[in-house]
Structure 1
Amino acid sequence: MELFKNMQNGIFGGNMGIGNTIKKIRLNRNMTQKQIAEGIIGQGTYSRIERDQLQVDVELFAKLIQKLNISSNEFFYVHNNYSATEQQIIMQEFRELTIISPDLLKIKINRLEKFLNKTPLTNLNKIYIAYQILVHYINGGDKKNIHLQAKALWEEFQRLDNWYIDDLILLNSLLFLLPLEIAEEITTTALKRIRYYNGYEKDLTYLEIFFQIDLSVIYIEHQEYEEALSKLNCIEIKYKQKMSYQTLAGLFFNKSICYLFLNEQYDEEFSKIKLLLEIYGDSSLLNMLQHNFEELRLQVEQVNL
């Protein structure tokens, strides 16, 4: 209840001026106050909302923006002068975190700490914990302790009835820090939860792909190459048309690794990487993958001598 009050006062309070934004959108839709208010509230009450004289609760706000045919995300983007809020920016940065470095994590943690000092009641607290775990990992902290921290965060999610998009993104970012059996459990559950979002305004297929590819990488780390290869083949068949070229190149790379360790031919998979990245002109990614694969190939040769 306290969290709801905080959200109500912080987001839906009259001092935020959301009534003026509702008015601007209504006028741009060529709709009257009567058309918006009809079946929801009286026109006089609605008029007070547009003048920011009446606080709007969550339920009423949802009904009004539905009449305006606009999502809450787009509404607040418009309301914030066509820019993301601080919370949205922080979450977006976490979603797009691909390269993990101590300096980059420090910058992101500092920004998040400042935000949490101003707004302590927020779902970003779990993101802060995730960042701390990643810092310990990248700095070579005790692996057992890192696994315990990641597992403790997972246990919190197990107590929740539902996972939302940000929760799924967070769990995906920590998947490689958890034991294989837990990673499998999370992936299975996540795929079921993602299906709840069929028909949602944003296609979440990318999350299905990430969970399954990341799980295949964990299989590779556990030297379960046949299992990893089987999953990668299934992913390629089902999602190839939906994948970015970088993700698809990564899939071919992981398949090449499996074939390498299974002492099977990998040239065909690696030729796909070269062709794909040459088409997109991404020589830096191609050079990095070639370098990494050559190092692995030499390691395998040394073991087999």
Structure 2
Amino acid sequence: MKNKDFKAFTTGETLKKIRISKKYTQKFVTEGIIGQSTYSKIERGEVEPTYSKFMSLLKRLDVSPEEFNYLSKDEKIDTREQIVHDFFLLNYNDSSDLKNIQTRILTYLEKNNDYVLQDVAYICEALILINEKRDYEQAIIYANKVWRRLEQFDRWFLMEIRLINTILFIFPIETAISISERIVSILEEYQSRESTVLLNNIQINLALQLIRNKEYEIAISHLNKSIVRLKEKQNYYLLSFAYIRKGIALDLIGETHAHTYIEKGLTLTKTFDEPKLYEGFLIEIEFYTKKSWPQ
């Protein structure tokens, strides 16, 4: 539940709420960053801080940009961002969840224009078509509606990358690989938690695309990088994907120790108590290796 004491609608109001809650003086918050008189005007909403000053103030207040954004939201923004948040947590193989999100989006769009939510609605439709009808021909029509907007951008930021990641598998393999490699090069420049999560997801999915394209050594190279990061962060869920796909790639180039990675991945998956995920892995392994598991 949101703390009503923090419900604010301007940068200055939110900064003031945070400062007062921590019992900090304006002098403490502004020292070495900005003039106190200028800061007073910011809190009163008379001026806006520059980006660099704003970031320095947040650092002094020990508040991240994400937390500040959360604290400054109004109800309308909360509704929109909650939909986006819920969408990226979905199991995209579950059509009922996708339809629920799609309904929420369409209700929101009746009163608001929003490019991102319109993209998400198209993505939901594409995924539903694949889940229920295996209709990739129609699904790519909706995926292309999203792609036509995003391909015009000079640079993709994290939101665009997250959207693209959900539809990559719908595109022809060469296109998907090209886009994924471009995304990986962008994300490797970032140092944030969110970018690392995205990088791991996309690199693991890219590895599967490379396997489909018989580029096994390149797939293994990407997976090795992901495995190091995932073990460091103890992200065992994604690590199971990385192990299994590395095992598949190793099997396809004739490496005898391939089974050890597949078995590691399946063993990890059992700990998650997600039988559908386990079954999905068995299908994926058999499809690519032409071998039944467990052996």
Residue 177 to residue 17, structure 1, CA distance change in 2 (3 Å) = same
* Counterpart residue type for residue 282 of structure 1: F
**Which residue is 1:67 aligned to?**
57
The within-5 A match list for 1:105-254 is 105-140=98-133, 142-198=135-191, 200=192, 202-222=193-213, 224-225=215-216, 227-237=218-228, 239-242=230-233, 244-254=235-245
Q: How many residues align?
A: 276
Alpha-carbon deviation of 1:92?
Answer: 1.4
Q: CA–CA distance in 2 between the matches of 1:136 and 1:274? A: 29
| Overall identity of the aligned pairs, in % | 24
Which residue of 2 is the match for residue 271 of structure 1? 263
Instruction: Tell which structure's C-alpha radius of gyration is larger.
Output: 1
Q: Counterparts of 1:171 and 1:297 in 2: how far apart (Å)?
A: 25
Aligned residue identity for 2:272 = D
- Unpaired segments ≥5 residues, structure 1: 1-13
Aligned in 2, Cα 1:243/1:23: closer, same or farther, shift over 3 Å?
Answer: same
- In the TM superposition, residue 86 of structure 1 has moved relative to its aligned partner by 1.6
Task: State the 1:101 CA deviation.
Answer: 1.7
Tell me whether 1:39 sits opposite 2:35 in the alignment: yes
Q: Which letter does structure 2 place at the counterpart of 1:39? A: G
Q: CA deviation at 1:248?
A: 1.1
Quote how far apart the aligned CAs of 1:125 are. 2.3
Number of the residue aligned with 1:257: 248
Q: Aligned in 2, Cα 1:176/1:243: closer, same or farther, shift over 3 Å?
A: farther
Superposed CA offset, 1:269-289 (max 9, x none): 2332355456xx335458536
Structure 1 residue 40 displacement after superposition: 7.9
Q: In the alignment, is the contact (CA less than 8 A) between 2:220 and 2:249 conserved in 1?
A: yes
TM-score computed with the length of structure 1 as normaliser:
0.72
Residue 118 of structure 1: SS of its match in structure 2? coil
1:33–1:47: 8 Å Cα contact kept in structure 2?
no
**Structure 2 Cα separation of the partners of residues 181 and 293 of structure 1:** 20
C-alpha separation in 1, matches of 2:238 and 2:200 = 9
Q: Distance in 2 between matches of 1:19 and 1:294?
A: 55
Counterpart secondary structure, 1:109: helix
- Cα deviation digits, residues 136-172 of structure 1 (max 9, x gap): 2222254233234424532322211221211111111
Q: Which moved more, 1:114-123 or 1:209-218?
A: 114-123
In structure 2, relative to structure 1, the CA distance for the partners of 1:218 and 1:47 (3 Å cut) is closer
Aligned counterparts of 1:208 and 1:129: Cα–Cα separation in 2: 24
The match for 1:4 is none
2:3 equivalent in structure 1: none
Measured in 1, the distance between the counterparts of 2:8 and 2:252 equals 62
8 Å CA contact 2:140, 2:170 repeated in 1 = yes
Q: Is the 8 A contact 1:150 1:177 kept in 2?
A: yes
**1:15 CA displacement:** 8.7
Residue 123 of structure 1: SS of its match in structure 2? helix
Which letter does structure 2 place at the counterpart of 1:105? Answer: L
Shift of 1:67: 2.1
Change in CA separation of 1:150 and 1:169 when aligned onto 2, cut-off 3 Å: same
Report SS of the residue matched to 1:120.
Answer: coil
Question: What secondary structure does 1:163 align onto?
Answer: coil
Residue in structure 2 matching 1:78, options 43, 66, 71: 71
What is the CA-CA distance between 1:220 and the residue it aligns to?
Answer: 3.2
